[in-house]
Chains A and B, each alone.
Chain A
């Protein structure tokens, strides 16, 4: 038999943090030390692969032997010997360490297109990408297609930008192609500033060549010779993989002069971002690449006419670029066959918050939210009720459990007052206070506002203050009026997308959770029992056994009571830390 044994270890940021490099070393030592290859006359290889999404269970390891692949979860270096022993040598997989049924359900309903090769290929080797069809699309585009045919194909495919606004990609390319000027450039936006988002990072870490290939095709179609990837410095692994990939692409003739004899010159440089959310906005990003302060400027002129150093510039998101080779390979009809009426293809989401299967998922556009949350995400943990799903990052909105059947695409989310954004999806359960959620997202925008324009700089600050007062029980009906008026002014009058959309979390919670605002304002109550100023801890005298646990745990000495007699909380001393609630074994402590 000459069939190989392959051990694939996840080396995404999640995997690395969980100790993937130690795991790799352990397997290599183990295999070499025992002479497994010689004994078996089989090649044994340890591969590094990108993230496959199920980050909660890292380090994930695939072992392929005897033609079958088994996935192990939560693997550490110390577990390698037993896997080599039992699985590889004796052919008995270590079932107790294998992934459970939720791994299959997690992947079952997904449609991996951009992420298809993530977790399979070695992101550090161009050869591995080529083996899986890499650069085939680029070869076809550069050697067989006319730039305008490429643009038409992208237009026909219905691909829309994955970075937020969902602008048709083919149209954008055409603007830039037609813009006067001989020096043009393309930019990949890998700034990914939304809190909790890691789609773009995973693509760059898991399959950097797909982004390079997409940019090459786009540059050829547009007539650009320069490319830049603007990536945040907080993604060191992605930056390193990208650098390596660019180097390998140059060596293999996929970047540089006269690429593959096509006459096309194109090269890519990397620009590092310093982690300002606003630098993801295209004009701010361009300013930052130019070495200026990363602040948006008014549009027009649009980058397609006057972008980086005045060049006509086309800027797309990581995921958008990585989708391009797939379309060129498989054709526009194939791509537009996936997804819904007006939103084609797939979208990657980072599924986080109160959800069982935290991770990265790629689904066809138009999949009902319900399927993403329950079938893929496994639902809300601890038997809690789903309250809302926040999509679109800090400038998105909340969708209530009542709208769980909503298909996830640009139009449907927009109709509910939310946005697709770049793909953040935060699941919230009954313990989440929606006023507090609005306050959280708004204070993020307040901190990240560049401060240039009046509505955003002053408006976010004022709204955070109003929301804070409401969560403290100091709100009045006038607070709601003022919030609504500021929201409207910010939407209408802000200079850039940050300010224009910053009010979305407030508007959507006001729309769907007005009763929670009212409870805070009129009854001075937080229905989710989350706002500290409005909750009280109480001990149920029928349930309290007088064990004294809470009394010993209270840092304030706010609890009194004799042994074996019901205890009580002194509300004046209580700082609402919840230590009593956590320590009571009899469920006697409650908050309300």
Chain B
């Protein structure tokens, strides 16, 4: 627990809370791009900056996502320095991805409309390099199918050797978590494909549900789930899709036929 001052109001934070968590708990809006509850802080987008000062800290900008709230900290989430710096960060991101809706909406929420910098031309790039997909795939799923490649301007999300991944299990976590829709998952023609912008990074076959015939899982994902759950009632190739599984389980419990 820490006693801090947030935008002039004194409050007590939950034990071990970061500045971001404390602010959100108090209903104060701070923009974040690379932070995700399930993945923890990453510290890359820098949008979550706040001005902090404290007993040992002279007033300076810190990223709230990875800074622990400490006793006596005074936090200002809307100081002139924060507002000015955050505006530049939004403008720079908008220059890279001028038509990315969630970004434009978030910027507008914090008073930034458009950019003075040169908007990128050509193919739209919705990827803001937040790394949520990469961290989910590596840290949570353990597949390490997608990674960041190259550095600086060339940094981009891709699979090994810029080809469609051999490690991807087709779980779609990346697409589900992507805040901008830069990663998409498409089930079509018996296959599941995953795209970063318009480039395919994974292309895997789907298997049918034994009951309804719906294509619902890739064999690799089914194996993965089975391995994680020791095969307890979870899909395996040629098994039931989640919907049929639910129905069949319910009918077994109630003793009524599935239909």
Contacts and interface: CB of A to CB of B under 8 A. Distances in A.
In this complex, the member of A447, A455, A478, A482 whose beta carbon has the largest number of chain B beta carbons within 10 angstroms is: A455
Interface stretch (A207-215, A225-233, A261-269, A490-498): A490-498
Given A482-B117, A492-B61, A451 B153 contact: yes
In this complex, the member of B41, B151, B153 whose beta carbon has the largest number of chain A beta carbons within 10 angstroms is: B151
A462 B95 contact: yes
Interface string B175-204: 000000000000000000000000000000
Interface string A453-491: 111011111100100000000000010001001101100
A548 B209 CA distance: 86
B118 interface: yes
Q: How large is the interface on A (under 10, 10 to 19, 20 to 34, 35 or more residues)?
A: 20 to 34
B234 interface: no
Interface residues of B, number: 32
B174 interface: no
A298 interface: yes
Interface string A255-297: 0000000000000000000001010000000000000010101
B43 interface: yes
Contacts of A485: 84, 88
Given A461-B153, A462-B117, A453 B88 contact: no
B116 interface: yes
A452 interface: yes
Given A298-B43, A462-B118, A492-B81, A455 B151 contact: no
A455 B84 contact: no
A493 B151 contact: no
Given A453-B45, A488-B85, A459 B92 contact: yes
Contacts of B89: 454-455, 489, 493
Nearest to A486: B88
B66 interface: yes
B110 interface: no
Contacts of A448: 151-152
A446 interface: yes
Contacts of A276: 151
B105 to A, nearest CB: 17
Interface in B23-67: 41, 43-47, 49, 60-61, 63, 66
B152 A450 contact: yes
B96 interface: yes
A298 B46 CA distance: 11
B129 A493 contact: no
B154 interface: yes
A485 B131 CA distance: 26
A449 interface: yes
Contacts of A494: 46
B152 A298 contact: no
Contact of A451 (B88, B117, B118, B154): B154
B61 A493 contact: yes
Contact of A454 (B81, B92, B148): B92
A453 B44 contact: yes
Contacts of A451: 129, 148, 150-155
B19 interface: no
A453 B96 CA distance: 13
A90 to B, nearest CB: 60
Nearest to A297: B43
Contacts of A453: 43-46
Nearest to A465: B118
A493 B43 contact: no
B66 to A, nearest CB: 5
A446 B45 CA distance: 17
A512 to B, nearest CB: 24
A256 to B, nearest CB: 37
Interface of A: 276, 278, 293, 295, 297-298, 446-455, 457-462, 465, 478, 482, 485-486, 488-489, 492-495
Interface of B: 41, 43-47, 49, 60-61, 63, 66, 81, 84-85, 88-89, 92-93, 95-96, 116-118, 129, 131, 148, 150-155
Please provide the 7 A-B residue pairs with the shortest distance between their CB atoms, ordered closest to farther.
A451-B155, A458-B92, A489-B88, A298-B43, A449-B152, A451-B152, A493-B46
